[in-house]
Amino acid sequence: MRCRTMATLLCFALIASPLWAAASLLELTDDRGRRVQLDRSPQRIVSLLPSLTESVCALGACERLVGTDRFSDFPAQVRTLPKLGDLDDLQWERLKALRPDMVLASKSMRQIDRLESLGFKVLALDSQSHEDVKRSLRLLATMLGDRQSGDRLWQQIDREISTAKLALPGMLKHSIVYVELGPSMHAAGPGSFLGETLQSLGLRNVVPQSMGPFPQLSTEWLIGAQPRWVILQADPSKQYNKRPGWQGLLAIQQGRLCEFPSNDFDVLVRPGPRLGEAAHLLVQCLTRVMQRAS
């Protein structure tokens, strides 16, 4: 009698098991360690970070985007999408009206809590290093249904960086470079993704590892360090020339300065699928300036 009951229960369990398996087709773990379960691959995606927008498009799912943040502007087709502000001042009602089934954001707590309490599925992704980009691409590819495409995209980025490294003239190898990220002299340290790109290209960073990924430098310190090259965002009014002591930099005196217009600078500072293009931009600018100087 007991055997029969056990057998019946076992049968039921076996019959029901496909239901358990199908219950959540996709289980993704984001950078908070939170598990997000999806029944199917998301079809209406909102991205709140430009690098994530670019990643989704690079993975071939641009048409699934229904809304982005204010700063997403690449590729061109995302410019027509509704802009929802950014994490600091999100347009909650418009977001709700778009009915997304997935929201991609960076790891900022309060807004993500509110998003989840409103019933949205959120993937919070880090973007500080090359490893972060690789992991994000893999996660996004899994989310979109084709895990391999993430790895393939990363290999392509890797190849582009290697090609850029080969294109770097021998004279420029191991030059010490200072990359300025912001107007108050915030530098890209070795721990940042830009710093890692510099390292991959065979260039040295004026900032040591101990100072962290985004240290704020002083002109005094910089003059002591005397980087060979200065890379920053182009400013038509050349505000940086007015900094006291700035002219003491040999790189400035001898014209070893790379200024990037804001479009190109965006490519440099976005940790997304255009990392390879960023590497090429750096090499091209350095080569161009070097040839002009000689």
Partner 1 sequence: MQDRLVLLGLGLASLVLAMLSLSVGSGGSLVVLWQSSELVKDLVVDVRLPRILGCLSAGALLGLGGLIAQALFRNPLADPYLLGTASGASLAVTLVYAAGLGALALPSVAQLGTVLAAFCGAWLALGLSLLLVRDRRHGDPDQHVTLLLAGIIVALVLGASSDLLTHLRPELLRYRLAFTLGQTSLLGWDAVWQMSGGFALLLMLSSSRADVLDALTLGHNTAASLGFNMAREQSRLVLLMAACTAIVVAHTGLIGFVGLLAPHMVRPFIKGMHRSLMLASALGGAFLLSLADLLARTLWMPREIPTGLLTAVIGGLFLLVLLKRRS
* Residue 174 engages partner 1 in binding (rule: CB under 8 A): no
Rounded to a whole number of angstroms, the minimum distance from the CB of residue 92 to partner 1 is: 5
List 39, 63, 89, 220, residue binding partner 1 (CB under 8 A): 89
* Residue 244 engages partner 1 in binding (rule: CB under 8 A): no
Rounded to a whole number of angstroms, the minimum distance from the CB of residue 188 to partner 1 is: 13
* Residue 96 engages partner 1 in binding (rule: CB under 8 A): yes
| Closest CB to partner 1 among residues 86, 160 | 86
List 40, 80, 93, 262, residue binding partner 1 (CB under 8 A): 93
Rounded to a whole number of angstroms, the minimum distance from the CB of residue 259 to partner 1 is: 23
List 216, 239, 241, 253, residue binding partner 1 (CB under 8 A): 216
| Closest CB to partner 1 among residues 68, 175 | 68
* Residue 210 engages partner 1 in binding (rule: CB under 8 A): no
Looking only at the bridges linking them, the beta strands covering 35-38 and 26-29 are antiparallel
Q: Which residues bind partner 1 (CB under 8 A)?
A: 33, 85, 88-94, 96-97, 99, 107-111, 113-114, 117-119, 128, 186, 214, 216
